[in-house]
Structure 1
């Protein structure tokens, strides 16, 4: 359970860091680009990708290039969503992205949907709708107005990333090598983009990137190790990770950052937990 706990804490810590950076008006794009070299090196030392298999990537390169573009984009969306609605609803939306690969398996890959999975998907969509709900007020600022878009972007982005990794795995490519190449490409593409936009570099943003990269890789490594250690109980890892992130993010968001949730949002959180439980049973 140590690795599972570490994975949950690292995942929530990423959201906490992004929330603090947004509060300080720090350019998250620079933090993200500085984090990728750290994640890149940690992938090399911890997961030991087989570089000799790089010639076997073949058709998987299209998917890896897509990952290189989408991975940093999702992080930027994550920061925007946390600024707009807080880490509680954002982390819940991120966890609910698990329903996207299930829908894709049904629509694109011919898998059969059971009644239990349909019920779980329905709970997931209801939870997402409840999480993005914000009561109308007399004056709505631009950030609040875009809240549903940021949350939906996080949900859709993480779901697409999950699908892409699954597609690469079908090509027979080892996960560590895919992660290694994707991290390197993502960092390079974002760095080139920032150079073209002539960004004014911030030392504080770059320094925070070192921590972000470590937390991101810590989350991935601990999650992989949790599946290895608890190989006979994958359901515990699946449920513990998703429900654990929602629970810890709620405690920190409400208790530390004084985030507020309306009644519909609270129902959304409960539905999100139920969705994870039902999909586990499916």
Structure 2
């Protein structure tokens, strides 16, 4: 369970760092670029990727799609945390698991049991209740765009990573290394273009923040994978503990540390989100 706890801590820390970015005037795109460079180095050191296994027959469309989505979703993640807070953004990210579940049913023709159907039925109203704000009127409705993009983006990313996992010609960690590499190159290109056009100013503080972000971002992945390896016979336990843990810890930090305001409907949404994840976990156990 220590790996699950470490993964939860790393995941929530990433959200906290993005929450603090505005306070310290951090350039998110610069920090994200450095984040992928650091993750790339750590991936090389810890996973020893077999680069020679990548060739023209590798799933390049999936690799390129992930390389575009990963840095993009980081920007939406930061915007969602800035506008709606850690609590609601963490729930949007965790409930994005519904997208790969729906993909499994509609695309991969996986059978659903009643528990999974109940979990999905509870999950969608949980999303709506969690995001409701008293001030959501007029132009403020645009705030909904950020958590929705987080929800959809992480869901699609999960589906794409599952596609990579099905590709057996190259180890999963090697594909992960390549995706980090492509994400870094794309982010670096964007930052360079912004610097040349003077739309951003390169600052050392962004490098420092990006390095810390990269360490915790990679730590989340590393410990999550180690948890699955340590509990190979109970993958649904890892899945449930991770998602429930992030929602609970994220909520506590958001409310107690950052004084995020939640309505009774928001709390009802959080409870429903936890119940939905429990039902999905039970459905996996039943299978």
Match of residue 197 from structure 1: 194
Partner residue, 1:12: 12
Which residue number in structure 1 is paired with residue 166 of structure 2?
170
Gaps of 5+ in 2: none
Partner of 1:147: 143
> CA-to-partner distance for each residue in 1:39-91, whole Å, 9 max, x for gaps?
00101111222222112x62511100000000011111110000011001110
CA contact (8 A) 1:39 1:216 kept: yes
Contact persistence 1:132–1:147 (CA under 8 A): no
Q: What number of residue pairs does the alignment pair up?
A: 278
- Does 1:159 pair with 2:155? yes
Kept after mapping to 1: 8 A contact 2:237/2:281: no
Q: Does 1:29 align with 2:26?
A: no
Q: Are the aligned partners of 1:22 and 1:79 in contact in 2 as well (CA < 8 Å)?
A: no
Matched with 1:252 is 253
Tell me the distance in 2 between the aligned counterparts of 1:97 and 1:30: 26
5-14 or 25-34: bigger deviation: 25-34
Matches of 1:58 and 1:125 in 2, distance apart? 38
Residues in 2 aligned to 1:59 and 1:42: alpha-carbon distance in whole angstroms: 23
| TM-score (structure 1 length as normaliser) | 0.95
Deviations 1:143-179 (A, max 9, x none): x432211001111111111000111121213210111
Q: Is the 8 A contact 1:129 1:268 kept in 2?
A: yes
CA deviation map 1:257-277 (0-9, x unaligned): 111101111111101101110
Find the aligned partners of 1:169 and 1:218 in 2 and give their Cα distance: 20
CA distance in 2, matches of 1:216, 1:227: 17
Aligned counterparts of 2:243 and 2:23: Cα–Cα separation in 1: 26
Deviation at 1:197, TM superposition (A): 2.6
- Are 1:51 and 1:177, in contact at CA under 8 Å, matched by a contact in 2? yes
Indicate the larger mover: 197-206 or 59-68: 197-206
Question: 1:115 deviation in Å?
Answer: 2.2
Q: 2:179 aligns with which of 159, 166, 182?
A: 182
How far the C-alpha of 1:109 sits from its partner, in A, is 1.6
Task: Identify the residue that residue 105 of structure 1 maps to in structure 2.
Answer: 104
Measure how far apart 1:185 and its partner are: 0.4
Q: Which runs of 5+ in 1 are unaligned?
A: none
